[in-house]
Structures are given as C-alpha cells and as structure tokens.
Amino acid sequence: MNSPIRQSANPSIRKAIVIGSGVAGLAVAIRMAVKGYSVKVFERNAEPGGKLSFFEQDGYAFDAGPSLFTQPSNIEDLFECAGEPIADYFQYRSVPVACKYFFEDGTIVNAYTQVDQFARELESALGEDPVAVQKYLAKAEKAYEAIGRIFLDHSLHRRSTWLNKRILPALSATRISYLIQSMHDYHASNFRSPKTVQIFDRFATYNGSNPYKAPAMLSMIPHLEQNEGTFYPYGGMISITNALYKLALKKGVEFVFNTKVDKIIHQQGEVKAVRVGDMEFRADLVVSNMDVYYLYRDLLGDPSKAEAVLKRERSSSAMIFYWGIKKEFKELHLHNIFFTRDYEEEFRHLFETRQMYHDPTIYVNITSKMEQGHSAPGTENWFVMLNAPADIGQNWDQIRQKARASAIEKLSRILSTDIASLIDTERVLDPKGIEAQTLSHMGSLYGTSSNSKWAAFLRHPNFSSSIKGLYFTGGSVHPGGGIPLCLKSAKIVASMID
C-alpha cells in the first residue's frame, strides 16, 4: 500500500520538485524559487552539476564534462532574474583565440574571435577569401538574431510562439538553402579551401550531429563562438555549477543528494507527488532534468513513449582521456583540435557503422593554460576528447585501447613529442560510463541528433500534453544540449508556469 503523501508545515505554499541537478535543473530551480515556489531538488549523485562536474587526481584538476563557455548572457540573465550580483558568485574573461586547429600536413590555424583577424588568418594559412569569411559570419549572425532567438528562446510546441510578432521576420530570414542543403554542402558553396570547410563543419558536433547530414540551418552555430566570443570562467567550468548551486541555496532551494526519485505520481491527468523510496512528496508541479527516455520508462512506467523517443536518431557520444602531462606545450592553447585526414569517413563510422574511426579528430582542452593551480608548474592537465558513437553494445574495452593508441600516435606525430612517456596520471570515460554517471541514454551527449531538417521540431517539448504540471528541461528536450541551450530550456519552462 502506498505511503501517505508528506505534507509540509504550510500546505498553502506552492511546491515544485525538480528531478536532477544538472545545469538546467539548477537554473529552473532558481527561477521557480524566484516565482515564490518552495523548491526541492532530488539528485541521484552526491553533488550537483550533472555532466558539468570536476575531479582532482594526483595533483591535476580536471573539468570532467563540457569545456567550452559561450553566451555568458544566459547566466547573467539568470542572476538578474534572481536579483543577485553575478560578480559575487561568478567571474569570467574573454579568450582571444576560440580554438587552434592542427592539420596533418602541418597547417595551423588560429580561430581568432575578432572577425577581421580570423578572416586574415584563414587567408594567410589556407588561401581563403577573407570577404567570404566575413560574409559567412555576417549571415550566421543574421540567421541567429532573426531565427535562433525565436526558435531557441521559446517553445516550438505552444501556439503563442507561432503568434509572436517575430515569427514573420524569422520565416522571411529562413533561406531555402538552410533547409535543403547539408551543412557541409552549404560550407562548400561558401568557401574555396577544403580546410575552411572542415573547420566550419566541426560546429555540427556541438549538438552531436553529422555535418554531411545535418541541415545548413546549423551554420548559425559558429556565430556564438566567432562573433559573440569565447570565454573562460575563472576556476574552470565547475565554477558554473558552483555559482548556480550557491545561488539556488541563497534563494531557498532545498537539495536532497544521493537520492533517486522512483516514480512520478499523477491522477486524472495531473501531477500529485513523487515517490522516493517509501515516502511520497506532494508537488504542484514537477520539472524533470533527466533524459526523457528514462523518465518515461522508469518514473512514468510508459514503455511505449520511451520507445517512441528512440525512433529519433541519438546524438554522438565521446571517448575522453584525462591526462596529467609532465610537460608544457607552448604551441597549444585552451582549446585545440587535431583534425582527421578524412572527416566524412569519420562521421560515416560514427553514425553508420557505429564504430570509432582509426584516425579520429582529437579535441584537447587545457585549463592550466588559463590559470595556476590546475596543475603543477611545468605540467598541463589535458582533457582529450574523441568523437564516439552512441552505445549500442560495442566492445568498449577493445575500442578504448585502440582509441588511446590512435590518439597517442596522432598527437605524438603532430607535436613531434612522445606523448605516452609524458602521461603522469590517467582516467578514462567512454559512452557506457557517460550513461552510468549521467543517465544519458546510450551515452548520447545531446539526446537526439540534428541530422534532419525536421530535428528541431521533433525534439521533445518542454511540457507534457497529457499530465498537467509535468515539465521537461535539459539536453534531451527542446532546444537541445550544451550549456547555453540547457539554460534556455530552463527559462522556457519557467515562462510557461503561471
């Protein structure tokens, strides 16, 4: 027999329960507290943050998850909403080089965040037409301002969005090429250098997609990094989690860690409570920050809806090596990319054969470049990430060994240094581990991929159409994965309530 629903001392206060304390869960908890709700957050892990986590090992500090910080305005808006001075919680600075790119033939490109400087760099290094670069980024900005700001900042599943006065300008700014061309074909038609095309194709990975399949609409993504700028939060990415957690506590949010929600209780199409072990906690509304697949399968007991989620292609995942390196590399920056020779073949492996390519593109993030304390003098903390397919039961032990050997061989060759001999400490995270730690089904970093022109419209909405009071936030729902979009999803949910 079910236990009685636990009542608080003041049952008249509206109660919101948030499931999961990833960045979206933290943000929505803050916004609901500001609205006057009594907010309780249940988190299955021992700490907040979800993928945005941190660990130390043998004197090296590592941000374990997302490593790129763009659009600080999303966090600033959250602190403004809460009426708190952001400087008391969180500080950051701009980074002049968004990324440093290394090609197998020895070509190196610095992606400066000043458009004119970046255009000149591409002209000097690749023979690219600088005017073409400037025009491309201007179009990306226009597309984001006209289209992105309406479709990313609002629900696509509410009539009010389609009645918004900005809809007509957004639709008029939507070029046919954005819908019928792939991202790669669009880039190939804009640039003359294949290396420039490859640099801009990379932005499809920001939502775990394939540039040879994803629509050219995703060409607005480079605007965030190259036009608006790239930033570094002091203390590393974990400082985002720490700031939001501190702000949530300040606003009266209650956190319950090491505690898993077992069921969402609803009656007659309306949320009533959540069950945690043998206790039930009353809720006027529930916001889920967990992967919608697990929410339907486990918390709502609705396997048919869970299976419906899987009808949409999952995003890519990652193989991550955390290496303490006993040397400083002056030629490396905060963000570094070592490209594969055959980008199209790498993505064919990721989404068709579901295996890792033998010559992977490698991303290396080094926060010790930005501030002391993340590693000892003369050393560096390397976050080494390779694109990986979603987990469908592959032999990850075998894949991990091959991927490690490929990464070491490639980095050693390009940097003319024996990397293996410099690895002082190591930790590894594969798609299976990502799923175990964060409940991201199949280890997919961004929920579903954007490998079709309808992907944005097919993402799960931020509310339930059948259960009143149930809402969804985070990377597996609209508008998508990544810190900026997760923060936007929290704001969308808060705007729907009351």
Q: Which domains does the chain have, with CATH numbers?
A: 5-50+65-92+235-313+453-496 (3.50.50.60), 118-228 (no CATH)
Give, for 5, the enclosing helix (H) or strand (E). strand 5-6
∠ CA 276-282-287, nearest 5°, is 75
Q: Distances from the Cα of 258 to the Cαs of 21, 261, 276, in angstroms?
A: 11, 10, 11
- Write the single-letter amino acid at 84: E
**Which of 338, 470, 472 has the alpha carbon at shortest distance from 407?**
338
Structure tokens at 418: 């024996």
Is pLDDT above 60 for 283? yes
Give 250's pLDDT tier (boundaries 50, 70, 90).
very high
Crossing angle between the packed helical segments 130-143 and 183-190, to the nearest 10 degrees: 140
The number of beta carbons lying within 10 Å of the beta carbon of residue 189 is 11
pTM of structure = 0.94
274, 58 Cβ separation under 8 angstroms: no
Dihedral over alpha carbons 62, 68, 71, 75 (to 10 degrees): -20
Give 10's pLDDT tier (boundaries 50, 70, 90).
low
Counting residues of the chain whose pLDDT is more than 90, the rounded percentage is: 87
Is pLDDT above 70 for 1? no
β pairing state of 38-42 and 15-19: parallel
Mean of the per-residue pLDDT values of the chain: 94
* For range 50-66, the mean pLDDT: 96
Is pLDDT above 90 for 5? no
pLDDT of residue 247: 98
Q: In what order do the strands lie in the sheet with 335-338?
A: 108-112, 97-102, 335-338, 362-365, 380-388, 317-325, 423-429
CA quadruple 188, 316, 464, 11: dihedral sign = negative
**For residue 92, what are the β-bridge partners?**
233
58, 425 Cβ separation under 8 angstroms: yes
